[in-house]
Structure 1
Amino acid sequence: MVTMRQALSLGVACLSLALGSVSYGQEAPLGASLEGLLKSAKDNNPEFASMRFDAAAATERVVSASALPDPKFRTEWRDITRMGEQSPTLLPGRVGSTRYLLMQDLPWAGKRDLKREVAESQADAARGRAAGSWSELAAKIKTTYAQLYYLDQSELLAREILDLMIRLEQVAQVRYAGGLTAQQDVIRAQLEQTAMRNELITIETERRQLRARLNALVGRPSNEPLATPVQLRPLPTPESVSFAALEPRARSSSPLLKTEISQIRTAEKNRELTYKNRYPDFSVGVSPIQYGSAVREWELMVEINIPLQQHARRAQERESEAMLASAQSRQEGVTNQVLADLYEGVAGLEAARSSLKLTTESMLPQAELTYRSALAGYEAGKVDFATLLDAQKQIRQAKLNQVKAGVSAQMRLADIERIVGDDL
Structure 2
Amino acid sequence: MSRSVRLSGGPAAAVLLSALWLPPPAAAEPPAPLALEAAVAEAVAGNPGLAEMRARAEAMAAVPSQEGSLPDPIVRFDAQNLPTNSGFNLRREDMTYLQAGFSQELPFPGKLALKEKAAEYEAAGAADSAEEARLRLVRDVKQLWWQLFYRERALEIVAATEKKLNQLADATLARYRVGEAMQQDALLAQLELSKLRDMELEHARLHHGEIARLNALLDRPAGRPLRLPPPGEPTLPQNAEQSELLELAERNRPALAQLQKALGAAQSRLELADKGYYPDFNVGADYAARQNTPAGLTRSDFANFHVSMNLPIYAGGKQAKAVDQRHSELLQEQYALQDALRKVQAEVAENWVGYGGARQQFQLVKTTILPQAKQTAAAMASAYQVGQADFANLLRAETAVLEYETRYWQAYVQAQQAWARLAAAVGKEGL
After TM superposition, the structure 1 stretch with the greater mean CA deviation from structure 2, 412-421 or 334-343, is 412-421
User: Would you say the 8 A contact 2:351–2:421 is kept in 1?
Assistant: yes
Distance 1:254 1:334 in 2: 10
User: Would you say the 8 A contact 1:33–1:231 is kept in 2?
Assistant: no
User: Would you say the 8 A contact 2:70–2:105 is kept in 1?
Assistant: yes
- Describe the superposition over 1:127-166 as per-residue Cα deviations: whole angstroms up to 9, x where unpaired: 1221222222222221111111111110000001001011
User: Would you say the 8 A contact 1:77–1:90 is kept in 2?
Assistant: no
Query: What is the one-letter code of the residue matched to 2:341?
Result: T
RMSD over equivalenced CA pairs, Å: 2.3
Shift of 1:368: 0.9
1:69 to 71, 77, 83: 71
Partner of 1:204: 204
Match status 1:305 vs 2:307: no
Partner of 2:395: 389
1:404 to 404, 410, 415: 410
Match status 1:215 vs 2:215: yes
Partner of 2:280: 281
- Describe the superposition over 1:100-152 as per-residue Cα deviations: whole angstroms up to 9, x where unpaired: 11111111111121111100111122112212222222222211111111111
Cα distance change on mapping 1:89 and 1:185 into 2, 3 Å: farther
Map 1:24-423 to 2 at 5 A: 32-81=34-83, 86-88=86-88, 96-228=96-228, 230-231=230-231, 235-239=236-240, 242-292=241-291, 296-311=301-316, 312-422=318-428, 423=430
Cα distance change on mapping 1:351 and 1:126 into 2, 3 Å: same
Shift of 1:89: 7.0
User: Would you say the 8 A contact 1:97–1:291 is kept in 2?
Assistant: yes
Query: What is the one-letter code of the residue matched to 1:144?
Result: L
Shift of 1:29: 5.0
Shift of 1:279: 1.2
Q: In proportion to residue count, which structure has more helix?
A: 1
Shift of 1:331: 0.8
User: Would you say the 8 A contact 1:271–1:320 is kept in 2?
Assistant: yes
Query: What is the one-letter code of the residue matched to 1:38?
Result: V
User: Would you say the 8 A contact 1:353–1:406 is kept in 2?
Assistant: yes
User: Would you say the 8 A contact 2:239–2:352 is kept in 1?
Assistant: no
Distance 2:37 2:43 in 1: 10
Query: What is the one-letter code of the residue matched to 1:189?
Result: A
Cα distance change on mapping 1:130 and 1:68 into 2, 3 Å: same
Distance 1:40 1:175 in 2: 56
User: Would you say the 8 A contact 2:249–2:426 is kept in 1?
Assistant: yes
User: Would you say the 8 A contact 2:90–2:291 is kept in 1?
Assistant: no
Cα distance change on mapping 1:112 and 1:90 into 2, 3 Å: farther
After TM superposition, the structure 1 stretch with the greater mean CA deviation from structure 2, 179-188 or 405-414, is 179-188
Shift of 1:209: 1.0
User: Would you say the 8 A contact 1:95–1:292 is kept in 2?
Assistant: no
Query: What is the one-letter code of the residue matched to 2:265?
Result: T
User: Would you say the 8 A contact 1:31–1:37 is kept in 2?
Assistant: no
Work out the percentage of aligned pairs sharing the same amino acid: 27
Query: What is the one-letter code of the residue matched to 1:285?
Result: G
Helix, strand or coil: the match of 2:86? coil
Distance 1:309 1:31 in 2: 70
Helix, strand or coil: the match of 1:67? coil
Shift of 1:88: 3.4
Distance 1:29 1:223 in 2: 12
Shift of 1:220: 2.0
User: Would you say the 8 A contact 1:33–1:230 is kept in 2?
Assistant: no
After TM superposition, the structure 1 stretch with the greater mean CA deviation from structure 2, 230-239 or 309-318, is 230-239
Helix, strand or coil: the match of 1:277? helix
Shift of 1:418: 2.4
Cα distance change on mapping 1:66 and 1:247 into 2, 3 Å: same
After TM superposition, the structure 1 stretch with the greater mean CA deviation from structure 2, 224-233 or 262-271, is 224-233
Distance 1:140 1:207 in 2: 16
Shift of 1:300: 2.2
Distance 1:361 1:73 in 2: 85
Helix, strand or coil: the match of 2:70? coil
Q: What's the TM-score once normalised by structure 1's chain length?
A: 0.87
Partner of 1:4: none
Helix, strand or coil: the match of 2:227? coil
- Describe the superposition over 1:57-108 as per-residue Cα deviations: whole angstroms up to 9, x where unpaired: 1001111110111110112211111xx55223799x9992112111111111
User: Would you say the 8 A contact 2:253–2:425 is kept in 1?
Assistant: yes
- Describe the superposition over 1:342-391 as per-residue Cα deviations: whole angstroms up to 9, x where unpaired: 10110011000000011101111111111111111111111111111111
Distance 1:50 1:90 in 2: 61
Cα distance change on mapping 1:272 and 1:99 into 2, 3 Å: same
Q: What's the TM-score once normalised by structure 2's chain length?
A: 0.86
User: Would you say the 8 A contact 1:165–1:190 is kept in 2?
Assistant: no
User: Would you say the 8 A contact 1:121–1:265 is kept in 2?
Assistant: yes
Shift of 1:184: 2.6
Distance 2:331 2:54 in 1: 29
User: Would you say the 8 A contact 2:242–2:349 is kept in 1?
Assistant: yes
Helix, strand or coil: the match of 1:52? helix
Distance 2:409 2:353 in 1: 19
Cα distance change on mapping 1:55 and 1:182 into 2, 3 Å: same
Distance 2:59 2:90 in 1: 45
Distance 2:261 2:154 in 1: 46
Shift of 1:50: 1.2
- Describe the superposition over 1:253-279 as per-residue Cα deviations: whole angstroms up to 9, x where unpaired: 112211111111011000011111111
